Amino acid sequence: MTIAEVRRETRSDAARPLETEYRPRHPLDLGRTVLYQRHGRGDPTMQVSGAVIWRTSRTPAGTATLALREVSPGVIRAAAWGAGAAWALEQLPALCGAEDDPGDFDAGRHPLIAAAHHRNPGVRISRTDLFFDALASAIIEQKVTGMQAFAAWRSIVTWHGERAPGPTPRPMYAPPSIEGWRLVPSWSWHRAGLEPPQARTVVEAARCGEVIGRTFLSAADGEARDRVLISQRGIGPWTSAETRIRAVGDADAVSVGDFHLAHEVGYALSGTRVDDDGMLELLAPWAGQRQRVIRLIGASGIREPRRGPRLHPEDHRGR
């Protein structure tokens, strides 16, 4: 069924989904590609139930819930509910990496990357085309552990988002609107365990979020998008890169300043730890495709051995 045919489907039954089949023209590892957009296993916007990936979002046309299942190799069956259902189905190919262009990517420059690419030809870089969701989640993840960030995202989205349409396997929620993010009260951020600087940055970005989003999405390249975001108070290179990766599937974005990333890249490509400058030097041969290399390192299973105790996150809510 084509998208045009989906749009002509009757909506007399509000519980009836719009449905389509997507047959990508490229190898696709659905899980590794789409689940990159998930913020921890308890993410209220994305869940996995059996063989089905459930995703809810606030699209430009309204909230939507999308259910994806690979019914046979190269065939993805999709169903969508809610006011944004048609938009979600139109955006589905991009979510599955159809706009990810490997270009002249040369995996053979390093044996580990060559092996990972050979074993994982379906790893694609997904994009959501939802700027502010990507920005808000990146700000929440600044300078905290993943556990803290995922818990804060889960709390704020559940408390201030919108209940997802459709027969989700458990209650799910679409993120707040841009105005909704702006109106999240200070005590909600505090209860969610988020530090005040991150909370202020989200709220301040939301005050002009529509304008920032239009400028960001219309920018010519990654450097121009960086300039748009880094001009905002509280947003640095790491947050900008994370936003570019999720929102527009930037295959060259590198999250400089990440607590673990440089160490993981250094260990995988050189056998030893490096700092951010060393990481950028190691990734330089793949300029234009550096995020792809990082993604393949993740798929390879190679991890730097942990040398110390796990960081115990500080909880400031009792202050």
pLDDT tens per residue, range 159-168: 999 999 999 9
What integer pLDDT is reported at residue 304 of this predicted model? 84
N-term to C-term CA, the chain = 56
Q: What is the pLDDT of residues 204-247, one digit of tens each?
A: 999 999 999 999 999 999 999 999 999 999 999 999 999 999 99
Domains of the chain: 3-107 (3.30.310)
pLDDT band at 143 (very low <50, low <70, confident <90, very high): confident
HSE at residue 308, side-chain half, CA atoms within 13 A, is 2
Which letter does DSSP use for residue 162 in this model?
E
What integer pLDDT is reported at residue 273 of this predicted model? 94
What integer pLDDT is reported at residue 305 of this predicted model? 81
Encode 212-244: b = buried (16+ Cβ within 10 Å), e = exposed.
bbebbeebeebeebbebbeebebbebbbbbbbb
Q: What is the pLDDT of residues 5-57, one digit of tens each?
A: 434 433 333 478 999 999 999 999 999 999 999 999 999 999 999 999 999 99
Indicate the residue type of 65.
T
145-149, 217-221, 313-317: least confident range? 313-317
Residue 118 has pLDDT above 50, yes or no: yes
pLDDT band at 316 (very low <50, low <70, confident <90, very high): low
> Average pLDDT of 269-282?
97
pLDDT band at 265 (very low <50, low <70, confident <90, very high): very high
What integer pLDDT is reported at residue 153 of this predicted model? 97
3-state SS assignment for residue 21: strand
Model's pTM, two decimal places? 0.90
What integer pLDDT is reported at residue 98 of this predicted model? 97
**Main-chain phi, psi angles of 94, to 5 degrees:** -65, -40
- For the chain, count helices (H), then strands (E): 15, 7
Residues, the chain, total? 319
pLDDT band at 319 (very low <50, low <70, confident <90, very high): low
**pLDDT, averaged across the chain:** 92
> Average pLDDT of 191-214?
96
